[in-house]
Amino acid sequence: MANADNASTRDHSPHDHAQCIDDALDAAAEICARRGARLTPLRRRVLELVWAGHEAVKAYDLLAKLDAGAKPPTVYRALDFLVAHGLVHKLESLNAYVGCPRPQTAHEGQFLICDTCGLVDEIDAPELNSQLVERAAIAGFAPQRQTVEVHGRCAACGGSRS
């Protein structure tokens, strides 16, 4: 029973993905404007490419889709900017990137990554977050950044049901 209203950002159900891209670009423009950050054509283009789907994207794949002749620093710099502004998250366990569906509010991403179809679902689990912080505090540890990535099978690929 797929349910578009559950807490997931997105599943692989058919949807108007052009809308996802538009939303992401619009949100990015607004956020950058508000902060005085420059969403240059290059950065905008990279963001658009990252949002080609709801899957993780590799830096060199982006590179290949930019005008021929683009060099690695070009794409890495754009990604650095996008990550710094929370428009894109880096998935450490994949060395890949994914668009952030809720860039308006600063947050660490927590991800469900389907190893079968590649879908990346960013979940919003504040209770998880606070448990992690609390748990760290017990050890006298001051958290600054967290990586939470769960690999497995999404619902569409036969996760809990089929």
- Is 130 exposed, middle or buried (CB count within 10 Å of its CB: 0-12, 13-18, 19+)? exposed
Q: Is 31 in the site for DNA (CB under 7 A)?
A: no
Which of DNA, a second copy, none interacts with 125 (beta carbon under 5 to 8 A by kind)? a second copy
User: How many whole angstroms separate alpha carbon 103 and alpha carbon 88?
Assistant: 8
Binding mask 45-64 for a second copy (x = CB under 8 A): --------------------
Q: Tell me which long-range contacts 58-62 makes (C-beta under 8 A, separation of at least 24).
A: 58/95, 58/96, 58/97, 59/95, 59/96, 59/97, 62/97
Site for DNA (CB under 7 A): which residue of 41, 144, 145, 161? Answer: 41
Which is closer to a second copy, CB of 57 or CB of 155? 155
By CB under 7 A, tell whether 81 contacts DNA: yes
Q: Which residues bind DNA (CB under 7 A)?
A: 37-38, 40-43, 58-60, 69-74, 76-78, 80-81, 95-96
